Amino acid sequence: MANVVVVGAQWGDEGKGKIVDWLSERADVIARFQGGHNAGHTLVIDGTVYKLNALPSGVVRGGKLSIIGNGVVLDPWHLVEEIRAIQEQGVEISPEVLMIAENTPLILPIHGELDRAREEAASKGTKIGTTGRGIGPAYEDKVGRRSVRVADLADPATLEARVDRALQHHDPLRKGLGIKAVNREALLDQLRAIAPEILRYAAPVWKVLNEKRRAGKRILFEGAQGALLDIDFGTYPFVTSSNVIAGQAATGVGIGPGAIDYVLGLVKAYTTRVGEGPFPAELNDADGERLGKRGHEFGTTTGRKRRCGWFDACLVRQTCVTSGVTGIALTKIDVLDGFETLKICIGYDLDGTRLDYLPTAADQQARCTPIYEEMPGWSESTEGARSWAELPGNAVKYVRRIEELINCPVALLSTSPERDDTILVTDPFAD
């Protein structure tokens, strides 16, 4: 049975929530493998809107096991609030349908405080544009071997030792930023209070997934953000703090790379990004405003307005390589309805030299200007189309040209936020 990784192939916000939810009907297990609650997924099911940050998208489907893997950094207080909010919408969540890896690092209040203080202190041009939720500092503590992990909540002595080690690092940083020292006892009290609500979901996820796989169950691996925000292969330093590309799915839950059978890259029919950093195909004109308004381009988590631009085939071709994408899910093509002319970025001009990829050096990225290919648009509506026959001819030509330019086939085509408004070309879960 096939196991599928879903990864954003742009800067995030490609519509992963809907596609993961749509695919979860075919899956038995949905596992989140990286990121924090800075990424938001909006699901629209039978007219009901569900907004998820930390929870895997599969929780809204009954009978599925949802897993938060060790590659995630988890804010336990936010998770408890999110669970309650989703339960109030009639979704049942219990340890039978939700598991958290015991080795998952926690986001503490001190991480958010440090995150926000750094952004405020950053000089002009050096702000990363983080959400201020502590994701970056939490990953720093993980790599620095001073994290409080889920399993630590079960033992008072270990918990105190972990907190003390973290504070040895954080208090000097806070002093340098003009923040008062951490109240150790208050932090420990907060952790002791939340512990029972988190530990009830704790499990050896690596073992559970191995057993599920051996039993022939289908696993859907769900990432957050997009490959262009990957800490290694993104537009560094304007990136997230974890590996986003598909290879992280294996280490982010504790299952070998041989367990991955299909990588589905999520791609918007145009391009957006949130926050700072290079964006060669960005539109600061009426077309950009039109894309933003038609696409409702505001962050699920922060409400921040997204920057918009034409489809960048160079970037997507690049991320398809670094994530080993098997096929793409092209989303939000309906946003392009009514444009007389469409443009696709097919290369960059860097100081007179033509490039077919985005260079690594930040100064070179900033100097890249797009080289466009134009295509005729369409006046007919694509919204809600569920077959190729329902699409305008020029929309089909646009999709086929994208396939040629990125060297990757379209497996799914999404024509609205509704779950069933999807054209299936290749089922990633096909045997």
Active centre residues (catalytic): 13, 41
Taking alpha carbons only, the member of 313, 290, 289, 296 closest to residue 375 is 313
Q: What is the CA radius of gyration of the chain?
A: 22
* Cβ atoms of 295 and 231 closer than 8 Å: no
- Residues sharing a CB contact under 8 Å with residue 114, sequence separation 6 or more, in sequence order: 134, 137, 170, 173, 174, 177, 179
How many angstroms separate the Cα of 396 from the Cα of each of 10, 216, 311, 377, 406? 21, 37, 15, 11, 16
* Cβ atoms of 410 and 331 closer than 8 Å: no
DSSP string, 56-71: -GGGGSTT-EEEE-TT
Buried b or exposed e, range 338-354, using 16+ CB within 10 angstroms: ebeebbbbbbbebeeee
* Cβ atoms of 366 and 350 closer than 8 Å: no
How far apart are the C-alpha atoms of 113 and 134, rounded to whole Å?
A: 7
How far apart are the C-alpha atoms of 233 and 318, rounded to whole Å?
A: 9
